[in-house]
Amino acid sequence: IIRSTLKPFNVGNCTLEVSARASYVNCDEELGQFDNLITCAFLALDSQPNRSVCAYQQQMQITKLEQQARLAELAHIDFRSE
């Protein structure tokens, strides 16, 4: 599948380029709830954008929560007064 997506192809007057990516999650993660597994799989893809295949790791969730906490802190800073 990955090899077949490496070549751009023409449709009408447009050139399309498709890139295949995949991630996988241990079913024990997030209590095995399907929606949570899908969320973890997308987090793995977001965490490693340059990889074609990546595995979800618990550290990805921790890093995401830390980033959200930092963004929340920044949202409450009055930059005009600083």
This prediction's pTM = 0.69
pLDDT of 54:
93
Q: How do the domains of the chain map onto residue ranges?
A: 3-75
Provide the pLDDT confidence category of residue 16 given band limits of 50, 70 and 90: confident
Q: Is 54 exposed, middle or buried (0-12, 13-18, 19+ CB in 10 A)?
A: buried
User: In angstroms, rounded to a whole number, what is the distance separating the alpha carbons of residues 35 and 40?
Assistant: 9
Give percent of the chain above pLDDT 90: 45
pLDDT of 44:
95
Closest CA to 19 of 34, 8, 32: 8
Q: Please write the tens of the pLDDT for every residue from 32-47.
A: 688 888 999 999 999 9
